[in-house]
Amino acid sequence: MPAQIIDGNALAQEVRHEVAVRVRDLAARGITPGLAVILVGDNPASAAYVRGKVRACAEVGIFSETIHLSAATSQERLLGLVAELNQDPRFHALLPQLPLPPGLDTQALIRAIDPEKDVDGLHPYNLGRLLIGDGEGVIVPCTPAGVQQMLLRTGHSPAGRHVVICGRSTLVGKPLAVLLGHKAPGANATVTLCHTGTRDLGHFTRQADILVAAIGRPQTITAEMVRPGAVVIDVGINPVPDPSRKSGHRLVGDVDFAAVREVAGAISPVPGGVGPMTVAMLLVNTAHAAARAAARG
């Protein structure tokens, strides 16, 4: 029997509705959550992602503004802009769209963001707080938070389960491993972190109750690598050639979806899985940042 499809679009709509309610509550107190997005260069994919985030903000009542800089922007100019936005009371959250053009230092940019406005949760301060499980005020990176919510909202709690994560990036794999390994509600998993250097990857993936693929290689996870009945979350977004498409390509995940669907108990598609939930958690983090700013006065 084919696996249950974990519909990221439907789950994201639930989250957006919840955020809209919270934003209305904040508005009743005279607070309008604000998000500043920095877009450097003219990467079409990055521009499309930013447009989607701006639309999502408008849908729930979050004020957003996109600052579009040329690819020739200097590191000094970029860091100066971040310093200005850190001080701008209109914005409770600040999001640089990654990747940056060649020649710009991504880590220097992230470190320059006020940790309270770091809506992506990638500042070393916020990653450190996540590591030690420092209370409810921790800003969790959007994609790991989205994966956790996908599991919880579809009845696949990670508690007591063996979660195998393929991918060790700071954006997804490492923070997700920490998040699901916490002794906390919605977590309490036994976590194995694999990567491109793991020998005999299938040996580990076949042990997973919950398998998360975030390795950045198209259709790496095959049916033979999945334990029957396992929950499979596909974080990958990979363009592959497709002459039948106007664009000349289509998007696939890190999982061989058609084959794995026949083995898994539940699976998220690409597109329409983790992507919409990542954007939804950006909205959640922005609303949280506004509430925290109001509490600080």
Q: Which residues are catalytic?
A: 53, 97, 120
Phi, psi of 171 (to 5 degrees): -75, -35
- Round to whole Å and give the CA distance between 285 and 117: 9
Q: Where are the alpha helices (DSSP H) in 156-208?
A: 173-181, 201-205
> 166 with 212: CB under 8 angstroms?
yes
Q: Which residues contact 192 (CB under 8 A, 6 or more apart)?
A: 162, 163, 164, 165, 204, 207, 208
- Round to whole Å and give the CA distance between 199 and 195: 9
- Round to whole Å and give the CA distance between 113 and 134: 20
231 sits in which H/E element: strand 231-234
- Round to whole Å and give the CA distance between 174 and 215: 12
- Round to whole Å and give the CA distance between 161 and 144: 17
Can you state the percent helix, strand and coil of the chain, rounding each to 5? 40, 15, 40
Structure tokens, 290: 């506004």
- Beta-bridge mates of residue 164: 192, 211
Look at residues 204, 146, 200 and name the one whose alpha carbon lies nearest to residue 191: 204
The angle that helices 8-28 and 274-296 make with each other, rounded to 10 degrees, is 20
